Amino acid sequence: MIDFTVTGAFLVGLMGAGHCIGMCGGLVGAFSQQLPKPPGQNMLAAQLQFILSYNFGRILSYTIAGALIGGSASVLSTLFSLDLYLISMRIFAGMMMIATGLYIAQIWSGVVQIERLGKLVWKVVGPVANRLLPIKNLKQAFVAGFFWGWLPCGLVYSTLTWSVAANSAQQGALIMAAFGLGTLPALVSAGVAAQFFAQLVMKRAVRLFSGLILVSFGIQTLYIAFAQLS
- Show pLDDT as tens, one digit a residue, over the chain (230 residues): 445 588 888 988 887 766 666 556 556 666 666 666 666 667 677 778 888 898 899 999 999 999 999 998 888 777 766 667 778 878 888 888 888 888 888 898 887 777 676 667 667 777 776 777 777 888 988 998 898 888 777 788 888 888 888 878 999 999 999 999 998 887 776 655 445 555 666 677 877 887 888 888 888 888 888 887 76
pTM value?
A: 0.77
Q: For residues 198 and 29, give the distance between their C-alpha atoms in angstroms, rounded to a whole number.
A: 14
Q: For residues 184 and 192, give the distance between their C-alpha atoms in angstroms, rounded to a whole number.
A: 12
Report yes or no: 118 and 151 within 8 Å, Cβ to Cβ.
yes
Report yes or no: 197 and 21 within 8 Å, Cβ to Cβ.
no
- Could you give the C-alpha distances from 171 to 2, 63, 149, 175, 226, in angstroms and in order? 8, 10, 19, 6, 22
Q: For residues 225 and 88, give the distance between their C-alpha atoms in angstroms, rounded to a whole number.
A: 8
- Could you give the C-alpha distances from 175 to 30, 107, 187, in angstroms and in order? 29, 24, 19
22: CB partners within 8 A, 6+ apart: none
